[in-house]
Amino acid sequence: MRSLFVPVLLIALALPAGTASAAPVEVGPRPYFLIDQIRNPELKAKLEACADKPLEKKLFSIAHRGAPMQFPEHTLQSYRAAARMGVGIQECDVAFTADKQLVCRHAQNDLHTTTNILATDLARKCSKPFVPADGDKPASAECRTSDITLAEFKSLTGKMDAANTKATSVDAYMKGTPAWRTDLYAAAGGTLMTHAEYIQLVKAQGLKFTPELKAPAVDMPYQGWTQENYAQAMIDEYKAAGIPPEDVFPQSFNLSDILYWIKAEPAFAKQAILLDERDETDKTFNHMDPATFKPSMKELKEMGVNYIAPSLPLLVTVENGRIAPSAYAKEAKAAGLKIITWSLERSGPLQKGGGYYYKSINEIVNNDGMIYELVDVLAQQVGVEGIFSDWPATVTYYANCMNLK
């Protein structure tokens, strides 16, 4: 990794005002816009009363890929924006290149929607080239980090994660950003980050780290590299950078990865986060029926898991027309598991129920003020340790107002 030293150092030294740990926190107008729409008068009054309160960074506020509601995810610009919004923890989803170097991407196979690769000569290396829409058949492509080398990856620029599946040209395919997001901050192209560069940037920002080991899109072992080699490589980059284990919250959806870290890297495993999407992968799973939790929360705790991170809807339900903690949330707390959840501000306007991230409470969701009503239940009744958000300012404001850590 010696070839990365100079650019990593330059990024760390070239931080603009607003990214250093002592920089003032700015949340902009969105929290106040949301507060205006809250229908719970008590909560609304509490949040309104904090309008002039000095703001500081909060561990409760976790950047989900930076600030991707408006900035290209996992880019330098997105991480800088999140730092300005007062996050305490920054996330890098970790994937690997053809030469087995670690980079920040949400998936190993998302370059066609998150970068400009299809508009470059590197498009010829994509696992599946662009195919235009034809009648009812949508346009498609698949470009993987493992299709290209680290040097090639660094030649790309980030864009808003989207694709127009009705497109008949590459240019049109790359212009699929939803209307409620924006390309305003993506026009010049975002600066892609290696995992090592992310570490140096976040270290310079004075923040903590939450890297997620992404499931490979290729068969493992890959060129002799096993899943355990991959999991170890991610931890090794923190050790090489001198990052204390207590500043790192490693994540994975794969329980085997967590168990590997518990065995091989116990200091880092203390804060390892098991991401939970059993509502998507297990047809028998019901977040209101603990008998369907396999393994159970108690069994996970006995394995050495300390943190569990389900999506927002698994933690709540509707009781008497109001948001309330779910059986899932109660079981996790009873087992002694700490809870983190994802991802706020990823649903667009909530007038029509909010979609996936509000699926357990869709029936009562009909305006954007419900964002703070959900956050309040998660913080005060469920007792989550932190919330991932695509626009961290929303969570930062709440955490400051309620004096959370």
Q: What is the pLDDT of residues 20-40, one digit of tens each?
A: 456 899 999 999 999 999 999
- Residue 21 confidence (pLDDT): 55
DSSP class of residue 343?
E
- Residue 22 confidence (pLDDT): 61
Residue 17 pLDDT grade (very low, low, confident, very high; cuts 50, 70, 90):
very low
Give the integer Cα–Cα distance in Å for 397 and 25: 10
- Residue 315 confidence (pLDDT): 99
The tens digit of pLDDT for each residue in 121-154 reads 999 999 999 999 999 999 999 999 999 999 999 9
- Residue 23 confidence (pLDDT): 80
Q: For residue 61, is it within any domain? A: yes
DSSP class of residue 56?
-
CA distances from 309 to 252, 295, 313 (A): 10, 15, 11
Task: Give the residue carrying structure tokens 């980079």.
Answer: 103
String of DSSP letters for 201-246: HHHHHT-EEEEEEPPPSS-SSBTTB-HHHHHHHHHHHHHHTT--GG
Q: What is the mean pLDDT of residues 339-348?
A: 98
Q: For residue 51, is it within any domain? A: yes
Give the integer Cα–Cα distance in Å for 207 and 88: 5
Q: Which of 388, 359, 362 is nearest to 375 (CA)?
A: 388
Instruction: Output the six-digit token pair for 215.
Output: 């499931």
pTM (two decimals): 0.95
Three-state secondary structure string covering 109-125: CCHHHHECHHHCHHHHH
- Residue 19 confidence (pLDDT): 43
- Residue 1 confidence (pLDDT): 35
CA distances from 252 to 228, 316, 321 (A): 13, 22, 34
Phi, psi (rounded to 5 degrees) for 311: -70, 160
Q: What is the percent of the chain where pLDDT is above 70? A: 95
Residue 3 pLDDT grade (very low, low, confident, very high; cuts 50, 70, 90):
very low
Which range marks the domain in which residue 28 is found?
Answer: 2-108+179-401
Q: Find out whether 310 and 300 touch, Cβ atoms under 8 Å.
A: no
Question: Residue type for 204, please?
Answer: A
Q: What is the mean pLDDT of residues 228-246?
A: 99
Q: For residue 153, is it within any domain? A: no
Which CATH number do you get for residue 195? 3.20.20.190
Pairing of strands 128-131, 338-344: unpaired
Q: Find out whether 117 and 156 touch, Cβ atoms under 8 Å.
A: yes
**Among 3-7, 90-94, 295-299, 385-389, whose mean pLDDT is lowest?**
3-7
Mean pLDDT, all residues of the chain: 96
Q: For residue 152, is it within any domain? A: no
Tally of domains within the chain: 1
- Residue 7 confidence (pLDDT): 46
Q: What is the mean pLDDT of residues 342-363?
A: 98
Q: For residue 134, is it within any domain? A: no
Task: Give the residue carrying structure tokens 């066609």.
Answer: 112
Q: What is the mean pLDDT of residues 316-320?
A: 99
Q: For residue 174, is it within any domain? A: no
CA angle 302, 305, 311 (to 5 degrees): 125
The tens digit of pLDDT for each residue in 27-81 reads 999 999 999 999 999 999 999 999 999 999 999 999 999 999 999 999 999 999 9
Sign of CA dihedral 161, 109, 8, 20: positive
Q: Which of 81, 345, 70, 80 is nearest to 187 (CA)?
A: 70
Residue 14 has pLDDT above 80, yes or no: no
Q: For residue 273, is it within any domain? A: yes
Q: For residue 122, is it within any domain? A: no
